Structure 1
Amino acid sequence: MSELARQYPDYFPARPWKRVIATGIDGAMVWVLSAVAAVPGQAIQWGQILVFLLAWWVLRVAVVYRNKGQSLGHWLMDLRVIDQRGRTPLLQRLTQREGILGGLVLLALVAVDSGLGFAILLLVAPVIVDCSWAWINPRHNTLHDLISQTEIVVAYRGFSLDRKLIRLSQQIRAQRSK
């Protein structure tokens, strides 16, 4: 049991699948925003990379810092980022955390966008290794969480997108079975 779990027993660690969906929502938004800066015909999209990094920092650091530990993806999935004290992490910790994750996500997206076969595997592997720790660790922490001493927990405020989608799918199945 972690120190945080002993001090704050009401903080439940977020399930890895919810974390993946929340990060995927944020990552997709940032990638769409950065696609605007793409220049056709260029091998390396420096403008797109710069816009991606800036948008990632704004969405995953500045918004989280100002919004009680929740990015848009975290809000949709009822999650929040906390530090060892159970509070929203300081700007420096959030920047460290998201610098690691954002860099790994950027590598993976560049690999997928380039379509270079084996390079895809090499550039996607670091983000897979980092996030796979969430399934191994009992508190569902990833490597970037361990390094930055943060944790993703279930929040008491949010949109509950997962619950709404489950309820909708149950209603659809019930209507089809009639």
Structure 2
Amino acid sequence: MSSDLVPLPDPKVPMWRRCAALGIDFFLIGLLCVALGANGVTLLFVFMISWLATRVFVVSKNQGQSLGGWAFDIRVVDSQFNRTPRLLELTKRETVMGLGAALFLMGLGGLTSGNAGILLLMLPIVIDGGAVLFDTSRHPQTVHDRIGQTIVIGSRRGYSLDLKIRYLIDKVKREMK
């Protein structure tokens, strides 16, 4: 029995590593938006252009890894063929994620003690990531992963930032004893 489907690789990525990689990308793009003094519609425009540039074009040229993905040894692959997704799949995936992240950034920027309703802008990214909690498959997918027909897997290529931080923490603990 032959099949054109390639079996999925084994390395499952913990959700905290995915969040940390997303956080690095979000922080760098958010920093650019703040440095440019963008707000409102300008913020959305600058953020989405930057987001798509780094999370679509860089990922397509860098074997499925953004800067955050490279830092934590994770990559995005097509869920069916186990290869770097094409531009269309990456664009669909990152448009959904980018809009949620842009709303999250607007929510952070507008948060004051008397304006707690702005927290509702953070809801789309929480719902998107929360879908993983109810996915019992071998490689749980977020909403944007399902839309783009992608999965996130571990990679041998990267900086291994999580391992380096763990090593430093262990070293500090040993020195304190």
TM-score (norm 2): 0.89
Q: Partner letter of residue 164 of structure 1?
A: K
| 2:68 counterpart of 1:73 | yes
Secondary structure, in 3 states, of the residue corresponding to 2:36?
coil
Secondary structure, in 3 states, of the residue corresponding to 1:168?
helix
**Contact between 1:16 and 1:135, CA under 8 Å: does it hold in 2?**
no
| 2:173 counterpart of 1:173 | yes
Secondary structure, in 3 states, of the residue corresponding to 1:152?
strand
1:80-119 paired onto structure 2 within 5 Å: 80-83=75-78, 84-115=80-111, 117-119=115-117
Among 55, 60, 64, the alignment partner of 1:60 is 55
Q: Partner letter of residue 97 of structure 2?
A: L
Query: Partner residue of 1:3?
Result: none
Query: Partner residue of 2:25?
Result: 26
Q: Partner letter of residue 78 of structure 1?
A: D
Query: Hey, what's the Cα distance between the residues in 1 that align with 2:83 and 2:30?
Result: 29
**Contact between 2:96 and 2:144, CA under 8 Å: does it hold in 1?**
yes
Q: Partner letter of residue 124 of structure 1?
A: M
| 2:44 counterpart of 1:49 | yes
Query: Hey, what's the Cα distance between the residues in 1 that align with 2:10 and 2:87?
Result: 21
Q: Partner letter of residue 27 of structure 2?
A: A
| 2:160 counterpart of 1:157 | no
Query: Partner residue of 2:37?
Result: 38
**Post-superposition shift, 1:34?**
1.2
Deviations 1:73-102 (A, max 9, x none): 000000000002100000011000000000
TM-score (norm 1): 0.88
Q: Partner letter of residue 93 of structure 1?
A: E
Deviations 1:113-146 (A, max 9, x none): 0116333321111110110122332322101101
Query: Hey, what's the Cα distance between the residues in 2 that align with 1:122 and 1:47?
Result: 20
**Contact between 1:82 and 1:151, CA under 8 Å: does it hold in 2?**
yes
**Post-superposition shift, 1:9?**
4.6
**Post-superposition shift, 1:70?**
0.1
For the aligned residues, what is the CA RMSD? 1.6
Query: Hey, what's the Cα distance between the residues in 1 that align with 2:90 and 2:167?
Result: 33
1:110-149 paired onto structure 2 within 5 Å: 110-115=106-111, 117-138=115-136, 139-149=139-149
Residue segments in structure 2 that go unaligned for 5+ positions in a row: none
Query: Hey, what's the Cα distance between the residues in 2 that align with 1:35 and 1:13?
Result: 34
Secondary structure, in 3 states, of the residue corresponding to 2:127?
helix
Secondary structure, in 3 states, of the residue corresponding to 2:121?
helix
Secondary structure, in 3 states, of the residue corresponding to 1:166?
helix
In the comparison of the two structures, how many residue pairs are matched? 168
